[in-house]
Each structure stands twice: as C-alpha cells, then as structure tokens.
Amino acid sequence: MRTGFNHLFIPGPTNIPEPVRQAMNVPMQDMRAPDFGDLTLNLFTDLKKIFRTRSGTVFMFPGSGTGAWEAAITNTLNPGDKVLMSRFGQFSHLWVEMAERLGLDVDVIDVEWGAGVPVEDYARRLADDRDGKIKAVFATHNETATGVTSDVPGVRKALDAVNHDALLFVDGVSSIASIDFDMDGWGVDLAVTGSQKGLMLPAGLGILAVSEKAMEASRTSTMRRAYFEFADMVKMNATGYFPYTPPTQLFLGLRRSLDLILEEGLDNVITRHHRLAEGVRRGIDAWGLPLVAVDPSFHSDTVSAIRVPESVDAREVIRIGYEHYNISFGTGLAELAGKVFRIGHLGDLNEGMCLTALSLAELSLAAAGGRVEFGSGVAAAQKWYADAASAAIGVAAE
C-alpha cells in the first residue's frame, strides 16, 4: 500500500507545482476563439525571456523535445549536409541517430561518457573545414544520462575563431529554465527544449527558439517536412493561433509556470538549482561514491548520475526505492545500466526534497548491499544548505 507523497526524482518529467496543476484543470476551450491569442502571444513573449533571446522566434509544437529536434533539423538543413556532432551519453547518442536517419552526413566524435562536448576537437575540425562543408554544429548542453553540462559558449568561440558559418544547434531540454543558458549571448541558432523538465509541466510540448540566421536558412532548406513546417506555424502564430489543434491545457499550465519562474526571477531559479545540486553532490561525496561526470567543470545542476560499487546492482537500488520507499530515481541508461542511478534535481524543488532524496537513497543503497553510513549524505548536504542559508537567515533575524 502506498501512503503519503510519491517522491519523483527522475530528471523529467519533474514535479508540477500545485498552482500549475490546478491551472490546467479547466474545461476545454475554443482554440479559434477571438481572444485565444491573448493567452498564446504572451507565452511566446515570455518564453523568449527564458531562452534569453530578443531576435529569436519561438515555436511550440505539440510533441516532446525529440519532436523539436526533428523540427530544428528538417527546417534548416538540406539532405546530405555535413554536420558535426559528439556523443557522450544516451541523449547525445539519440540525436546522432536521428540526424543519420534523416539523411545527414554526420561527423560524430565519440567521447568518454562522463565528459562533454569536445570543444578543442570541434575547433580543430572547424579550422580544417576551409571550404565550409560543415553546415551545422550540435551540442548537447546538459547530457541527462551522465549528469554532464557542456561548454556551449566554448563552441561558439570555436566557430567565431575561424569565422565559420555553420549553424549552432543546442539541445537544452534538461538545462533551459534551470541552468544558465543565453541564446543571444552565445550565438545559438536553434535551441531545443520540452515542457516536462525545467518548465515543470506534463510532457506534450516541444519548444524551440530559432535565430534570424536559422529562420533565413529555413526559407531555402529542402529537407522533407510537413507537420513541423516553420512557415505554417509562423503564419498562424502571428495572431496567436495554430495550424492544428494545440494542447490548450498545457498552455494554461505554461502560463502559470512562466509566472512562477519570472516571479522568482530566472537568475534566482538558476542560483537555486546550483545551491540544491551542490548539496546533493556533497551528500553523494560523503557516501564515497563517484559521479559519472569526470571533472567538476562538467557537474550538472539538474541531474547527478551516481556510480554504485561493483558489488551493487544499481537497478536494485532503484527497484527498492520504488517498491519500498515511494521514490523514483533515474535509471542508468544504455551502457550505464546497472552501474548508475540518477537523482534528478530540477524544477519545483527545495532543500527538504533534496534531503529526502538523499535519505531514501541511503536506505535503498544499503538494502541493495551497499555500505553506507546512515545519515552521512544527509548530514553533508545539511551542512552545505545551512551555510548557504546562514547569510539570508542572519539578515532576517536582525
């Protein structure tokens, strides 16, 4: 029997704030009503703040992040185009696979899982590409499978250093609205996200921001596309409508979640994610377990992938957590299956929730045969949270 809260610590879907969930619990509305645009036009405006773009165009496709990837590729590239990609986890792997299936000529750099986008290798490839064969460069900003955040500004620098004209595609599905992301500042041409991670909604929207340069490319691109055609969307979105039935409930939820993010302040949301993530990492470190991320510079503030000792099956940790303690941890994907479990720490989250995740992870780890001193991870995180809060609490008490 399950009583009390169900604890969701997968890196997506994330927990939905109660006001957002309530905002979606409404009767169906008319998506061709004269005032429908009052809702949607403001969503586009506020999403631009989340991507940090002024000149970009935002699209909301019914679908998920993967659909937005497909939209990004098929609207801006041509069959057989050469593209530069790197693979260091399940999500960057899936992006490579999609690009291949769609008929692109993919130059893929395989990197150790736990490292990130190989910026120096990219720089070399781009410098060598004197006649501009590479049409696009892809970066998975936050590899959710390994808990690795990559240096997207570094990729932009590598492009600019040799005045390379390739489009910069960024998968920001598990970073945007949680980890610093600056579309205009970093010169990102296509930034992809979904509704069910940092935006704290159910799955169902693939959200994409497109630079002016990429919009220009979309006017001559010859890849096949139909459902995801930018031009159809742009035409209808201009007045707040859609070429096909949009998920209106999700829009109402998005309205509320954008309000929450903008009320807290995007910078504060990002700082909170860092503070909470660092507590989780200190807890994991106190257990003596390593992260998959091979260097602190790669640490992700939205998900930690934890390597368990060889004597422990990480699938057991996850099973015990789920069956006995009402908690969902992320599983080890592909080559990390059995070796890794993940704690997602993004979205609607606070210190208490992170301490709960660490506490139940200790119980689950121990039951799966791991040697863990009860309370060690929790105490390390508490110490970090206490130090982080002391300044604010001190001011309040004066």
Ligand X SMILES: *Cc1c(COP(=O)(O)O)cnc(C)c1O
Binding residues vs ligand X (CB under 6 A): 12, 64-66, 91, 140, 142, 144, 171, 173-174, 194, 203
Residue pair 327/255 in contact (Cβ under 8 Å)? The answer is no
Residue pair 72/223 in contact (Cβ under 8 Å)? The answer is no
Q: What minimum distance in Å lies between the beta carbon of 316 and ligand X?
A: 24
Pick 92 or 221: Cβ nearer ligand X: 92
Pick 66 or 328: Cβ nearer ligand X: 66
Which secondary structure element, helix H or strand E, spans residue 139, and what is its range? strand 134-140
Pick 66 or 271: Cβ nearer ligand X: 66
Pick 75 or 140: Cβ nearer ligand X: 140
Which secondary structure element, helix H or strand E, spans residue 344, and what is its range? strand 340-344
Q: What minimum distance in Å lies between the beta carbon of 300 and ligand X?
A: 10
Q: Which DSSP string do the residues of 83-106 spell out, in sequence order?
A: EEEEESSHHHHHHHHHHHHTT-EE
Q: What minimum distance in Å lies between the beta carbon of 13 and ligand X?
A: 9
Residue pair 149/142 in contact (Cβ under 8 Å)? The answer is yes
Pick 189 or 351: Cβ nearer ligand X: 189
Q: What minimum distance in Å lies between the beta carbon of 370 and ligand X?
A: 26
Pick 53 or 174: Cβ nearer ligand X: 174
Q: What minimum distance in Å lies between the beta carbon of 173 and ligand X?
A: 4
CB atoms within 10 A of CB 229: 15
Q: Which DSSP string do the residues of 179-242 spell out, in sequence order?
A: S---TTTTT-SEEEEETTSTT-S-S-EEEEEE-HHHHHHHTT--S--STT-HHHHHHHHTTT--
Burial category of 326 from C-beta neighbours within 10 Å (exposed 0-12, middle 13-18, buried 19 and up): middle
Q: What minimum distance in Å lies between the beta carbon of 279 and ligand X?
A: 22
Non-local (6+) Cβ contacts of 126 within 8 A are 84, 134, 137, 158, 159, 161, 162, 164, 166
Read off the amino acid at residue 303. Answer: V
Q: Which residue has the tokens 């679908």?
A: 63
Q: What minimum distance in Å lies between the beta carbon of 204 and ligand X?
A: 9
Residue pair 47/58 in contact (Cβ under 8 Å)? The answer is yes
Coil vs helix vs strand at 154: helix
Helix axes 119-128, 152-161, angle to 10 degrees: 20
Pick 176 or 233: Cβ nearer ligand X: 176
> Which tokens sit at 180?
């610093």
**Closest to 53 (Cα-Cα) out of 172, 182, 206:** 182
Pick 13 or 154: Cβ nearer ligand X: 13
End-to-end CA distance of the chain: 47
Q: What minimum distance in Å lies between the beta carbon of 189 and ligand X?
A: 17
Q: What minimum distance in Å lies between the beta carbon of 176 and ligand X?
A: 10
Pick 201 or 312: Cβ nearer ligand X: 201
CB atoms within 10 A of CB 116: 29
Q: Which DSSP string do the residues of 14-73 spell out, in sequence order?
A: -PPPHHHHHHH-S----TTSTTHHHHHHHHHHHHHHHHT-SS-EEEEEES-HHHHHHHHH
Q: What minimum distance in Å lies between the beta carbon of 111 and ligand X?
A: 15
Pick 182 or 313: Cβ nearer ligand X: 182
Q: Which residue is nearest to ligand X (CB)?
A: 65
